[in-house]
Amino acid sequence: MQTPLPLTRDLVLIGGGHTHALVLHKWAMQPLAGARVTLINPDPTAPYTGMLPGHIAGHYSRDALEIDLIRLARRAGARVILGRADDLDPTRREVHVAGRPPIAYDVTSIDIGITSDLPALPGYADHAVSAKPLGAYAKRWLGWLTQMQAGETAAQIAIIGGGVAGVELALAMAHRLQGHAPDITLVDAGPLLSHIGAQARKRLVAHLAQAQVRVIENTRPEAVTAEGLVLPDGQIIAASFVLGAAGSRPQDWLQATGLDLTEGFITVDPFLRSVTAPEVFAVGDCAHMAHAPRPKAGVYAVRQAPILFQNLRAALGAGQMRAYHPQRDYLKLVSLGDRTALADKWSLPLEGRWLWGLKDRIDAKFMGQFRDARPMPPALPRDHTSGLAEMLGDKPLCGGCGAKMGAQALAAALPKVTRDDIEGGIGDDAAILRMGGTRQVIATDHLRALVEDPWLMARIAATHALGDIWAMGARPQAALASVTLPRMSPELQARTLREVMAGAESVLGPAGAALVGGHSAMGAEMQLGFTLTGLLDGRALTKSGAQAGDALILTKPLGTGVIMAGEMRWTAPGGVVAGALATMVQDQAQAAMILRDAHAMTDVTGFGLAGHLAEMLTPDRLSAQIELAALPLLAGAEGLAAEGIESSLVPANRAALLGVLDAPKNARAALLVDPQTAGGLLAAVAGAQADALLTRLQGAGYKAAIVGKVTADTGPKIIAR
């Protein structure tokens, strides 16, 4: 049997800047066998700043600016770690991200851009926003626009920074506010537009005057208040919106790395390697090219990408390195607010709508690289058995609970067990073992990986496995891990197992479960599972016991199955995927305590809300009504379901509920059979107590909801409306 090629080297990309995005794009087309690629970035998307003025002016939507790093990484076969790097140890070859163990590398590249020193200005953090990162600025801008258009705030703006960025944004905001008589002031600590040609500067100053933007040069603001910008002479520039577009500097954490720095920026050689640590590369604004110093500009970051791609491969053992020689000058295209632009190169400025069209085409071409169609699935061999094409279908096999077998196949395979030392029967969340006066529950769960990050996947798998213990009202006691890793070198095995154990312990330890051992193996792909025991101090909460009139409370929103299925098909946006992953690692310990007096309880996992509810109704032959409008849903889940996206397990879940589930054929109802990984608890509680319990759950941070009620109708029957 053919097995995947082993992994032998770790490449870690720190930061989702333009250069790294382009490297991932190239990697997707030309991967390097044996390399495991990791991208570390605080957010699931990265903005293309070249289109920011157009967005502020109203020419582009927010989505048009975003590079979806999660989608891009999947195409490149890379894992994504959503976190902010805050240290790098070149001696140990480790990257540090808050809240998780160090990430080891053989080769790493840094593309983290620059930061601003403006937040140190008194009052800035409370009353101003920086142009970078784009997300906070775009959100604040749209909120302010809404208030201004409603007459709730004055159209007064102050901008700190008179470089090209500040001028572009001033003109963009002036264009967006036409008809509202805006009062816009641009303040710079030095002369305006000091890094652009004299003729281009003259034209841009004229455009500012035409847009009635006031300019104050050679003045450094003293503070920001709720009233506006305070100048050294005590004058206050009235402003309800203060924007920072200046004060750029290197990120502070680079100082502690031991790398050679030039004014805080990583000093690199012609091959874009640190001059003190050749396995560390740096590109974009965070790097200083000692052999060819240049001003910070996105054009250099973009043109470094093919060189970095080749040199990273060479550092990993494939090919020869190539030197990067930046051009001396480059075409600067400056947006003028409306759909016109000014071009500056060699001090020969031009302007007009045709230049906006040129800039728009350049930007569209750049962003188009990250919106390529998904790779085609491998073709079937010419000769194959009957039924193989139908079995494969046109959808990849899901991970997590979406990869499980259906309820009917499982029920048919389970034996009948009757023993005095085992309480209850087969089919509950966990088995209850009697040992003298002690009652212990035992449960096991195993997941096919749905993310490439071993630490995060271990956290998801541990949270998922604990669900059965919490659902029975038991205290977690001990855990055994079952780990299958893809083939990799002994060094990568050790690194990966450290991440898995650290991720598992970060969930099991706080839950009270000691990780006492387990089993490891190598296979075709990563799979993680846990066998858990728990102790019962009182009655066991089981799937039976619901009563007519009970309210049904769900403690987590639905949608993990459809979102992760969409992620595998390059359909789910990165932000939506990040939201689903965050939900999966939310523990249910406090929710279980709050619901301790429920009549019946289970956790919602592979069989979906409707499937697990049917298991609760069957023992007592009850029915239930579900209020579709009350279902808590993850952002993006309903939209994906409306597109026809569904998890691998959905057909089996639907088949198991024939004659049981009566629901309309719409996207929201489709989520009733969506398999949940590390899903919430579903509890049947006395109707009179439901509102108070819900208030407690929501106060504890759970996005819980009352989703329906149990009825006395002979069942099981579930009616969803």
pLDDT in tens, 221-239: 999 999 999 999 999 999 9
* Percent of the chain whose predicted confidence (pLDDT) is above 70: 92
Task: Give tens-digit pLDDT for 252-267.
Answer: 999 999 999 999 999 9
Average pLDDT of the chain is 90
pLDDT at residue 617 is higher than 90: yes
182 band by pLDDT with thresholds 50, 70 and 90: very high
Please tell me the predicted confidence (pLDDT) of residue 570: 84
* 386 or 692, higher pLDDT: 692
Residue listed under structure tokens 């502020």: 56
Which residue from 168, 206, 170 is spatially nearest to 186, judged by alpha carbons?
170
Residue 317 carries which side chain, given as an amino acid letter?
G
pLDDT at residue 197 is higher than 90: no
* Percent of the chain whose predicted confidence (pLDDT) is above 90: 69
pLDDT (average), residues 284-304: 86
398 in catalytic set? no
d(CA 390, CA 401): 22
d(CA 112, CA 265): 11
Range scoring the smallest mean pLDDT among 209-213, 397-401, 444-448: 397-401
Please tell me the predicted confidence (pLDDT) of residue 377: 54
d(CA 305, CA 22): 6
d(CA 561, CA 404): 12
d(CA 639, CA 637): 5
Task: Give tens-digit pLDDT for 619-640.
Answer: 999 999 999 999 999 999 999 9
Q: Which residues pair with 49 in a beta bridge?
A: none
d(CA 644, CA 183): 49
Q: Phi and psi for 56 in degrees, rounded to 5?
A: -65, -35
pLDDT (average), residues 35-51: 92
Query: What count of residues does the chain have?
Result: 721
Q: Does domain 9-114+250-327 have CATH number 3.50.50.60?
A: yes
d(CA 522, CA 483): 8
The verdict on whether omega for the bond into residue 664 sits within 30 degrees of 0, i.e. cis, is no
Residue 113 carries which side chain, given as an amino acid letter?
G
User: 401, 508, 613, 684: which is the annotated catalytic residue?
Assistant: 401
Please tell me the predicted confidence (pLDDT) of residue 417: 58
Please tell me the predicted confidence (pLDDT) of residue 397: 64
- Residue 659, classed as helix, strand or coil, is coil
Please tell me the predicted confidence (pLDDT) of residue 332: 80
Range scoring the smallest mean pLDDT among 367-376, 550-559, 645-654: 367-376
pLDDT (average), residues 459-485: 95
- Pairing of the two strands 350-352 and 623-626: unpaired
Q: Give span(s): CATH 3.90.650.10, the chain.
A: 543-721
CA-based angle 105:109:112, to the nearest 5?
120
- Pairing of the two strands 350-352 and 422-423: unpaired
pLDDT (average), residues 599-621: 94
Please tell me the predicted confidence (pLDDT) of residue 467: 94
Residue 533 carries which side chain, given as an amino acid letter?
T
Please tell me the predicted confidence (pLDDT) of residue 425: 53
Please tell me the predicted confidence (pLDDT) of residue 406: 52
pLDDT at residue 561 is higher than 80: yes
Q: Per the structure block, which two tokens stand in for 687?
A: 């109707």
- Tally: H helices and E strands in the chain: 21, 39
* 623 or 116, higher pLDDT: 623
- Pairing of the two strands 287-289 and 332-336: unpaired
Residue listed under structure tokens 């959503």: 82
435 band by pLDDT with thresholds 50, 70 and 90: confident
Indicate the class that CATH gives domain 543-721: alpha beta
Please tell me the predicted confidence (pLDDT) of residue 427: 53
Please tell me the predicted confidence (pLDDT) of residue 372: 64
d(CA 130, CA 128): 7
pLDDT at residue 322 is higher than 90: yes
Q: Give span(s): CATH 3.50.50.60, the chain.
A: 9-114+250-327, 118-247
Please tell me the predicted confidence (pLDDT) of residue 1: 37
pLDDT at residue 527 is higher than 90: yes
Contacts by 407-416, CB closer than 8 A, 24 or more apart: 407/607, 407/611, 407/652, 407/653, 407/656, 408/652, 408/655, 408/656, 409/652
pLDDT at residue 676 is higher than 70: yes
Does the CA dihedral 13-18-24-26 come out positive or negative?
negative
Task: Give tens-digit pLDDT for 500-522.
Answer: 999 999 999 999 999 999 999 98
Annotation: CATH topology of 429-541: 60s Ribosomal Protein L30; Chain: A; (3.30.1330)
- Cα of 476 vs its chain's centroid, Å: 29
Q: Per the structure block, which two tokens stand in for 585?
A: 């690692």
143 band by pLDDT with thresholds 50, 70 and 90: very high
571 band by pLDDT with thresholds 50, 70 and 90: confident
Please tell me the predicted confidence (pLDDT) of residue 139: 85
Which residue from 263, 253, 226, 298 is spatially nearest to 67, judged by alpha carbons?
298
pLDDT at residue 592 is higher than 90: yes
Task: Give tens-digit pLDDT for 353-410.
Answer: 998 898 899 888 888 888 765 554 556 677 778 776 666 655 666 665 555 555 555 5
For 50-65, the three-class secondary structure string (H helix, E strand, C coil) is: HHHHHHHHCCCCCHHH
- Residue 228, classed as helix, strand or coil, is strand
Q: Are 79 and 37 in contact (CB under 8 A)?
A: yes
- Residue 406, classed as helix, strand or coil, is coil
CATH of domain 118-247: 3.50.50.60
pLDDT (average), residues 151-179: 93
CA-based angle 405:406:411, to the nearest 5?
105
pLDDT at residue 103 is higher than 70: yes
